[in-house]
Structure 1
Amino acid sequence: MEKLKQLLAPLTETLPPGVRDFLDAGGWWLVLGVLGLVILLVLWAILDRAWRFFRRKPARPEDAERELEEDLASYPPPPEPPGRQALTVYHIPVRLRLVVLAPAGTETSVDMKEVPRLLDQVVPGLSTIAGHDQAQIRLWPAQLSQQGFAITFQRRVERPEQEGQPSHWSLVAGRAHVGKQSILLGLALWTDQPTTLDQVVLEPYQWLDVVRIKSAEA
């Protein structure tokens, strides 16, 4: 204690006489006790935060995918009749209700401002159809494979009916080439009459053959 008093003497000499008398009468032990308690509380807070950090469970892939879920049963019907151009899949007239885009791989990205251009490069005029049908646009995180994207799209975009049963909803997904860039594209489509065209997976060269835009008079 004497060494501590000598070490802190330059500081304690500036204190009022009453405070110095308190310290000399044993107040140093109270000061040391308070400092020790503060140090213990700080150490406890650090250890508690470290414990919580290491105990934290990493997000499971299922949890990340759950954020991508779309319930088509909650989607309203198309807002108005088709415009001058009609979208078809395998020559069946459809209405575009949901568009999902994702980068193919981690080295590229998709920006919301680029969506109209990307859609039109996959199927010319598709962005106009999306605007007329008031389709919802969703950007998903980068996907590592076409097959994985199609499976996730079909699993997370939920139709009201069971797989294989006639439905107003059809899901089309696959990889598409946009210049030198590859993107992954998923479409949720509504038909006026239920069909068994439930899930379609396309290769890049198939989009223009399967998904077509025709004039309303055709």
Structure 2
Amino acid sequence: MKTTQKFPAARPRAVKRLAAAAASAALLAGLSISGATSASATADPGCYVIVSGSHDGCSHQSSLRPGQYIEGGTGNYALETEDEELRTQTDGNIVLYCKHAGTSAATGKWISAWQPVWATNQGYWNSSSGSKVVLWSDGNLAGYSYRSGLENVEFSSNTWNGSDTVFIVQADGNLVVWSGGRPVWSAAQNSLYHTCPGTEAYWVGY
């Protein structure tokens, strides 16, 4: 059963195998989300099964292309892989959940099924009317919540790299913005790598 609950923020740790730019804390202001289109789950190349070293077509990954979004309270509220789900919620939070129970390869701790491991805004539980994640046509990824009728920016990738940009909920557990075949932003500075049970089987790179 999917549940909503409070949880500690993910702890920073060493980045393995994937070089990514540090996430910026700067916020966008004055943007309107009109004109974006809802996301469709799409596969992206570059996923590898670590044990066998074979290439995987990544049909179990989900991505946003420029101009696409996910929004809480609609039929298009999440991006997911086989092992995790990034969900935009009606309480204003944007949360990454692990789908399966097991020991986390990243932390060595037990993870329960549908346990949250990362969120944008723990302070607004049940005080907002929705949330949204948009990859703008200019290549910038931004997350929004709605409180008291106002649109609030919860995070911005500050990656204005144009149309050659994709945001991927990766099979290896990371949330990454790619542009021109290289990582330009990641949530939690890649500390989500192999956090959810099952993600330790993959490494995503180009």
Shorter-chain TM-score: what band? under 0.3
Structure with the greater alpha carbon radius of gyration = 1
Whose strand proportion is higher, 1 or 2? 2
Question: What TM-score does the superposition give when structure 2 sets the normalisation length?
Answer: 0.23
